[in-house]
Amino acid sequence: MESAIRKIIEHIGEDPNREGLVRTPHRVAEAYKYLTKGYSVDIDSLINGAVFSEKYDEMVIVRDIDFYSLCEHHMLPFYGKCHIAYLPNGKVMGLSKLPRIVETFSRRLQIQERLTNEIAECLMKHLNPLGVAVVMEATHLCMVIRGVEKQNAFATTSSMLGAFRSDRSTRMEFLNLIQLPRLNR
């Protein structure tokens, strides 16, 4: 990877031997390894048995999960918030696993639409809930710093499965709850 980055530096007209650029190929390679670390995570190992039998039957929501990803079209960052809900069907998941799932799928080359679906489908598979809802809101640097250059544009995607797709009142409850004011911390 370092030699490829060195070639990119040369192709844009810079000298990769210039003092400030000598270690850049190494730093960029390390950054990309970190930004794409989701490829090396096994979801089953990540969940690690943190699914528990529980008679809780109301909506579980974790919202405002920060995420960072790389657009697969330009390899530029996109980032924002993810909101997740599920309706338990005799099983609940350790709450910290939800942000970890978001982190795993977001740390890959992505498009926001696929990322949203992957998170929802993962929860359906591992929890077998009555339904899953995922809403993601993101700023895409490929739209902000190049191309259309719209600094205030952001994208919202959703994946509604099970009861969240088939029952309008369930879907609306979730959408209303993620709009509530945040706690003062």
What are the boundaries of each domain within the chain?
Answer: 2-35, 51-177
- What angle, 0 to 180 degrees and rounded to 10, lies between the N-to-C axes of helices 2-11 and 24-35? 120
* Two structure tokens written together for 81: 């918030």
Q: Is the pLDDT of residue 170 over 90?
A: yes
Give the active site residue among 10, 54, 73, 113: 73
Could you confirm whether 122 is annotated as catalytic?
no
C-alpha to C-alpha distance for 1 and 62, rounded to whole angstroms: 37
Find out whether 26 is annotated in a ligand binding site.
no
The pLDDT value given to residue 11: 98
Which pair of structure tokens corresponds to residue 20? 């400030």
Asked whether residue 74 is marked as a ligand-binding residue, the answer is: yes
Q: Is residue 184 over pLDDT 80? A: no
Is 2 catalytic? The answer is no
| 71 marked as binding residue | yes
* DSSP codes joined into one string, 128-152: --SEEEEEEEEEEHHHHSSTT--TT
CATH number of 51-177: 3.30.1130.10
pLDDT number for residue 185: 62
pLDDT > 90: percent of the chain = 90
Asked if the model's pLDDT at residue 95 lies above 80, the reply is yes
Would the pLDDT of 7 be above 80?
A: yes
- Tell me, what's the pLDDT at 182? 80
**pTM across the whole model:** 0.94
Mark whether 11 is an active-site residue: no
